[in-house]
Amino acid sequence: MKKNITKSLILNLLAVTVVLNTGLSQAKSVKAPIHNAMTTNNSQKVEHYFTSNGIEVILKKITTNDVIGMKVFIKGGSRNINDKNAGIEKLLLNSMLLGSKEFPKSKLNLELAKIGAQLGTDSFFDYSSFGLKSVDKYFDKALYMFQTLVNNPLLDKKELELEKGKMLTTIKYTIDNPDDYVWKVTNKSFSMGHPYLNDFAGELTTIPSINQDSLKAYKKNNLIGSKMLIVIAGNYKDGIKKDLEKYFGKIAKGDYKNPAVPMIPVNKSSVTVENRDIPTAYVAGRFTAPSLKDSDYPAMYLGLRILSEKFSESVRTKHGLSYAVSSGSSMRAANSGYVYVTTIKPKESIALMNEEINILKTKSVDANYLNGVRNLYYTSYFIGLEPNLEQANTLGVNQLIAGDYNNSYKLIERFKKVTPQDIIKAANKYIKNINYGIIYQKDKIDIEDFNKI
C-alpha cells in the first residue's frame, strides 16, 4: 500500500501539482504534468481536434527525446457508476489490457517486452484512463497492439475472476488499514447525495456480481467516441491523425455531453466515528475547496501548503503529538481540501490544528515565506513534468477538469500574483464546515472538539 500511496501522490502532483507531498493515500486525490512546452505559450505547440466519430484528441509534439506517451481517457468517473456496479469501470479497463483476440495475454506480454512498451490504467472520481508508453521507433507497433485491446479485448472469464480477486483483496486491505479507510469514512459523509459517493475502486458488495456479460455491456455503453479523449505527447510521426482515425474511428460515437460536475453542498460541520478498539486515532476532514479553473485555486493551494507546514511544526515538532499531520487539496472537478492527523491524543491535536487554521485566517503570511512556498511549488511542478506520458496526462486532466488543456501554463502566471491577503481571503471563504471521519474508540471522542471551525 505504501507503493500505491507514493504513486498516487506523484500522479496527483503531476496532474496539476495539487496534492501536497505528505505520503497520504490515493483517497486524497487525485493526477497532471508538463515541462519544456510549459515554459512558453503551450497553445502554440498543441493541436486540439475531434475525430469523425467525436473522439476528442490533443497532440503535443516533443522532439527533445524519443519517448511517446499516450493517454486514452474515459470521461465521467464516478458519474458513470452507481451503488450497484461500483468498480466496474476500473475492472473493465484492467481486464481489457490482459489481451485481445489478436494478442492473447502471453503473446501480448512477449511482444510488449520486445519493444520495451508499457501499458497501464488509472481510475479516479472524474475519469478513468489507459496509458501507453513506447519509444518512437516502435510506437507504430505498440499503438497497433494497444488498439486491439481497446477494440477487441478478450475479457477472458478466468482472467476476469483473477482481477476481481485482486480488487477484493485491495478493498479488504483498505478496510483493515485505518490509515487508508479513514478517507472512505470521510468521503461517505462529505459526498452524501453526490456522484463522488460512488467509489471507483468498488465495494465488497458490488465486485462479485460483475461478470463477462456485464463488462461487455458496460464497454458498449461507455467506450464511445463522445466519451473519449486521446492525448499523445512525443515525437510522433506526421501520419498520427490518420492512424487514430483508422484505429479508433469505427467506435460508436454516442451522444455523451459530459455535463458539469455538481458542487458538493456542505453547510455545516459533521463528525462520523467508526468505533475500533485501537490505540491511535485516525482523523481526516474534508471541506469544499476551489477547483483548477477557479480564481481562488492558487491562493487556496498555497494557503493549504503553508498550513500543512504549520501543522507539522506545532503538532509534530513542538508538541510531539503525531508522526503524520498535514493539509492539502484534492484534484477533482468538485474539489475539496483536507486536514489529516494520526495521534493518540486527538483532542489536543485538533485544538492545535484549529489554532493554526485561525492564524492563517487572520494574520498575513510573511512575504519571504510565501515566496519560498511558491518556489517550492514551481520546483515540484517542473521536476514532475519531464516524462512525456505525464505531459499527456497533464493536458488531458486539465482539459477534463478545467476545460482548458493549457490551464497548467496559466496556473504558473496565476500563482505569481498570489498575495498574503489573497490567502487570508481564501482561508476564510473555504476552510469551514469541515466534515470529519474518525477511526478510534468512540467513547474517547468528544464531537464538540471537532466542530469549532
pLDDT tens digits for range 182-200: 999 999 999 999 999 999 9
Q: How far apart are CA 349 and CA 154, in angstroms?
A: 52
Return mean pLDDT, the chain: 90
Q: Which of 348, 364, 340 minimizes the C-alpha distance to 438?
A: 340
Query: In which band, very low, low, confident or very high, does the pLDDT at 384 lie, cut at 50, 70 and 90?
Result: confident
What are the C-alpha distances in Å from 108 to residues 71, 130, 145, 166? 19, 16, 8, 21
Is the pLDDT at 27 greater than 60, yes or no? no
pLDDT-wise least confident of 19-28, 38-47, 180-189, 304-313: 19-28
Is the model more confident about 30 or about 339? 339
pLDDT class of 1 with cuts at 50, 70, 90? very low
> Cα–Cα distances in Å, from 403 out to 12, 173, 245, 412?
18, 36, 23, 17
**Cα–Cα distance for residue pair 165/276, rounded to 1 Å:** 26
For 401-418, write each residue's pLDDT tens digit: 999 999 988 999 999 999
Residue 304 has what pLDDT? Answer: 98
Domain residue spans of the chain: 2-248, 270-394+403-450
DSSP helix/strand/coil, 139:
helix
What is the rounded (10 degree) CA torsion for 254, 258, 259, 263?
Answer: 150
Burial class (CB in 10 A: 0-12, 13-18, 19+), 425: middle
Does 270-394+403-450 match 2-248 at the fold level? yes
CATH superfamily of the 270-394+403-450 domain: Metalloenzyme, LuxS/M16 peptidase-like (3.30.830.10)
User: What is the mean pLDDT of the segment spanning 360-365?
Assistant: 98
Of 91-95, 149-153, 180-184, 258-262, the one with minimum mean pLDDT is: 258-262
Topology of domain 2-248, per CATH? Cytochrome Bc1 Complex; Chain A, domain 1 (3.30.830)
Backbone angles phi, psi at 272, to 5 degrees: -115, 120
Average pLDDT over residues 111-124: 98
Rounded to whole angstroms, how far apart are CA atoms 127 and 275?
33
449: DSSP letter: G
Higher pLDDT, 55 or 24: 55
The whole-number average pLDDT for the span 139-147 is 98
Give the C-alpha separation, 85 to 210, whole Å: 7
- Quick one: what percent of the chain has pLDDT higher than 70? 90
Among the residue ranges 40-54, 74-88, 156-170, 306-320, the one predicted with the least confidence is 40-54
pLDDT greater than 60 at residue 26: no
